[in-house]
Amino acid sequence: MAGEIFDGFRVVGFDLETTGFDIRKERIVEYALIGSDIDGTPINLQSLVYPGKRIPFEASNVHGIKDQDVRNAGAFSEHINEIAKIIDDSIIVGHNIIKFDWKILEMECVRAGFETPKPRAIIDTLVIARKLKIPGRHKLGILCNKYGIELENAHRADADAGATLILLWKIMKENPRFFRGSIDDLQDSLAGVERENSLGPGLEDLEPIPQSRGLLRKNNSEIIVAFGKYKGRSLNEINRNDPRYLNWLFSPSSPIEKVVCEKYKNSFQI
């Protein structure tokens, strides 16, 4: 994808079909996680879910899922472990995922007594479309039509999840400058956090670590992180305050080249 922003990450489109739109009381009737693992292996996890309540006619009329379809599908608690295996430490892409799908998932986890999965990042194509001021309405079907994406079986979880991934790729190709930073930069931008076009005051004057794409910089004997939530902090400081982040920074999911990770991680016994 544009700017290689997702290199080294598991990336999956995520979509839910539900019994309605009230986040506090509605339930999941279908989910899908469609994408690829770090090594490019395809991921396709999808299933119906028994919601523990009747599916209103209005909801069935949208997604076509009826009570008899989900009767033997298993409750959400029977699905969450498989869902979490894919979501944990992944980049999750969805359309209106932040205000709807993810909140529904959180509520289902609370009801079932499970901890909510922890993705590396959540990317919402609805937020991106608004941020980039893409002309026209921003419903998934309308955007797919605009970018020439076939959306058969719209309002079924697997179709919507897959279409959302393709939509993101099309938008990225059209707007490469917006996606040229790191995944943390993208999240900050979508959240409305203002960033400098450069690496920030002072950082541009520091020598980049070879093969780090400018993400690590040298300040005398210190190595400085030049992106993400610890931008401007040294590796030693991060190791003291958040060793889990440092562990991720030197993992296969890191945006930093493997050869650089191997060079420095031994210094921190990772």
Question: Is residue 200 over pLDDT 60?
Answer: no
The domains located in the chain, with CATH, are 2-182 (3.30.420.10), 203-268 (no CATH)
The H-assigned helical ranges of 17-136 are: 57-63, 67-70, 80-87, 102-112, 125-131
- Mean pLDDT for 48-71 is 95
pLDDT in tens, 81-135: 999 999 999 999 999 999 999 999 999 999 999 999 999 999 999 999 999 989 8
Residue 29 host element (H or E): strand 28-36
194 by Cβ neighbours in 10 Å (0-12 / 13-18 / 19+) ranks as exposed
> What pLDDT was estimated at residue 218?
85
pTM of this structure: 0.70
> What pLDDT was estimated at residue 173?
87
| Residues 157, 31 contacting (CB under 8 angstroms) | yes
DSSP per residue, 208-257: EPTTTTTSEEEETTEEEE-SGGGTT-BHHHHHHH-HHHHHHHTSTTSSS-
Task: Place 3 in a pLDDT band, splitting at 50, 70 and 90.
Answer: very low
Among residues 6, 2, 31, the alpha carbon closest in space to that of 16 is found at: 31
What rounded mean pLDDT belongs to the chain? 87
